[in-house]
Amino acid sequence: MLCGLLKPTAGEAHVVGHDLRRATGAAKSQLGYMAQKFSLYGLLSVQQNLEFSAGVYQLDGSTRRERIAEMIETFDLGDWLSATPDSLPLGHKQRLALACSLMHRPRCCFWTNPLQG
């Protein structure tokens, strides 16, 4: 519910000051989410996954290019840009999933075992 994937059934749920019953879009734009089963697109390359993530969060132009470059450098993904997530070692899959979840500089993150493995 706190990630905005399920609607609250009773009571109140607030994330980063937003009531999830009313402002789900505003709340989601402030959240970073990484599931234990990574939400990566296996047919897309690492570069394409980063581009897709930037698009989901509506990053455009120079902001988009700068954030993607920052994620590549921060998570040391430069040597893997043409690889697909399915071909990556587990640690690199985790790095890519974290990079995608942080692409839009969220104020709050929900991660399931981000450093396991």
Distance of alpha carbon 94 from alpha carbon 113, whole angstroms: 9
Please indicate, yes or no, if residue 7 is contained in any of the structural domains.
no
Which is more confidently placed, 64 or 91? 64
Tally of domains within the chain: 1
pTM of the model: 0.76
Distance of alpha carbon 25 from alpha carbon 92, whole angstroms: 30
What's the chain's average pLDDT?
82
> What average pLDDT does range 24-53 have in this prediction?
78
Check which CATH number belongs to the domain holding 36 and give it.
3.40.50.300
Q: Give 22-37 pLDDT, tens digit per residue.
A: 766 666 666 666 665 6
Please indicate, yes or no, if residue 25 is contained in any of the structural domains.
yes
Range of the domain at 74: 14-111
pLDDT score, position 111: 64
12: left (phi over 0), alpha (psi -120 to 50) or beta: beta
Lowest mean pLDDT, pick from 54-63, 69-78, 106-115: 106-115
Here the tokens at position 73 are: 């450098």
Please indicate, yes or no, if residue 97 is contained in any of the structural domains.
yes
